[in-house]
Amino acid sequence: MLLLGLFMAFAAGLRPDDIDHDYATYTEMYYNSFSLSTEISFTIIVSFVQLLFDNVVMMFLIYALISMFVHFYGIRKLSSLIFLSLMVYISNYYLLHEMNQIRVGVASGIFLIALYHLGNDDKKKFLLYALFATFFHYTASVLFLFYFFDGKPMKKWQTYFYLSIIPAAYVIYFLHMSVLTTIPIPHFEEKMKIYQALQANGGVWDEINVFNLVLLTKIAMTLFILWKSSLIYEYNKYVYLLLKVEIISIAAWVALYEMPVVAMRMSELLGIVEIVLFPMLFYTVKPAWLGRVLVTTVASVLLFISLVYNKVIYI
């Protein structure tokens, strides 16, 4: 794990500047990092690099090393299927976050650690790690909402409630209901309405596809794991907590269609639980080798979609 983690960190940190979508943006931010809209962690890391190295590559490497540490630590805490989880991680979120959205990458890894403490009913440490994640990306402030969640087995009414969330999100989409613009915060509400008006004129609507193959596949796997959750719980006590987060992640993609940037960021941040949740398919089939084949197939499909369909990196 140590060797693999170091290899992944250096592969992401020392990647060429033409392999991903965000390299140029972060390079620009490196030279203009001191603004009110910049997370404090980015400012600190950039200041440290400029003081000691004066080389933008070191910024990417430091982010990659931090991200690998928190992801590997989170995976070890949440699952015993470490290498199956790493397989799913490499096939999707490693390419999306560590090769592109480096700030979100670190925040999502910290979120995994926060969920470990939440699953053990240590809410003070959960809040601490959620705050720490917010220092790396402001989107992580949404993590505080999960303070009221727990990892206990769902009661019957809870199962029906969480089953209804994704269909409800699609109802919001079909009725063109605006979730973000109804938030009773004057400045925020005004911003959302302006964005919605620009979207209507500029055709930004089509950026969110609520019927894409990736999303539908995730919905199918999530529902299957929910169906088998009582069995999986015997092997991993965090399954219910991770299921709740994944359902919210999927619903956010659909219900927040009005602002694609928010929908994507929210869904991708919360969706990091997939690297622990989807390998749990291993527990649902026998013999063990068939479970490994199943998870490997899922990871292979996600990798193919990431590289060919979504073009997360340029190859």
CA distances from 143 to 224, 248, 269 (A): 25, 11, 9
Report the alpha-carbon distance of residue 112 to residue 129 in Å, rounded: 9
Across residues 175-182, what is the average pLDDT? 72
Q: Are 17 and 27 within 8 A, CB to CB?
A: yes
Residue 231 predicted with pLDDT over 90:
yes
Q: Are 280 and 232 within 8 A, CB to CB?
A: yes
**C-alpha torsion angle, residues 59, 21, 305, 246 (rounded to 10):** 60
CB atoms inside a 10 Å sphere around CB 37: 5
Closest CA to 44 of 57, 34, 54: 34
Task: Please write the tens of the pLDDT for every residue from 103-148.
Answer: 999 999 999 999 999 999 999 999 999 999 999 999 899 999 999 9
Q: Are 33 and 42 within 8 A, CB to CB?
A: yes
3-state secondary structure the chain: CHHHHHHHHHHHHCCCCCCCCCHHHHHHHHHCCCCCCCCHHHHHHHHHHHHHCCCHHHHHHHHHHHHHHHHHHHHHHHCCCHHHHHHHHHHCHHHHHHCCCHHHHHHHHHHHHHHHHHHCCCHHHHHHHHHHHHHHCHHHHHHHHHHHCCCCCCCHHHHHHHHHHHHHHHHHHHCCCCCHHHCCCHHHHHHHHHHHHHHHHHCHHHHCCCCCHHHHHHHHHHHHHHHCHHHHHCCCCCHHHHHHHHHHHHHHHHHCCCCHHHHHHHHHHHHHHHHHHHHHHHHHCCCHHHHHHHHHHHHHHHHHHHHHHCCCCCC
Q: How confident is the model at residue 196 (pLDDT cuts 50, 70, 90)?
A: low
What's the N-to-C CA distance of the chain in angstroms?
Answer: 26
Q: How confident is the model at residue 195 (pLDDT cuts 50, 70, 90)?
A: low
Closest CA to 272 of 83, 127, 111: 111
Q: Indicate the pTM of the whole model.
A: 0.91
Task: Please write the tens of the pLDDT for every residue from 14-54.
Answer: 999 999 989 999 999 998 866 666 788 999 999 999 999 98
Give the pLDDT score at 201.
Answer: 55
Q: How confident is the model at residue 218 (pLDDT cuts 50, 70, 90)?
A: very high
74-83, 170-179, 239-248: least confidently modelled range = 170-179
